[in-house]
Amino acid sequence: MTYEKAVILDTPPTRAELKTMLAAQGGNVKKLFNTSGEVYREMKLGAKLDSMSVEQALDLLASNGRLVKRPFVLVGDTGMVGFNENEWKTFLAGSKGSRS
């Protein structure tokens, strides 16, 4: 398997990558956020996220890698975010490339 490794804290996913991941996560933008992270808590996003548009949420994620839930892997038009060992084993068994 070939992949492109990126340090998300330094280089957040692009808006296009975030939109692909959003679709892969069933349109649930909250799944893309590192909800246990310090920046998420400092910005009080838990209270703000529900009233925020998807575009505003994607802008935040694309501008600050600390807000992005990790690991973050895209393969074509699908992807996985966060960690669940069994889900990752299944996902990676059928994958041919990724960005993490």
The residue ranges of every structural domain in the chain are: 15-93
Whole-number pLDDT of residue 97? 47
Dist CA 18 CA 12 (whole Å): 9
Helix, coil or strand: residue 57: helix
Q: Is the domain covering 15-93 a CATH 3.40.50.300 domain?
A: no
The mean pLDDT of the chain is 89
Residue 83 has pLDDT above 70, yes or no: yes
Percent of the chain with pLDDT over 90: 68
Neighbours of 37 (CB within 10 A): 17
Average pLDDT on 3-21 reads: 91
Average pLDDT on 66-78 reads: 92
More reliable by pLDDT, 78 or 4: 78
Whole-number pLDDT of residue 60? 97
Whole-number pLDDT of residue 6? 83
Dist CA 26 CA 18 (whole Å): 12
Model pTM?
Answer: 0.84
Residue 53 has pLDDT above 60, yes or no: yes
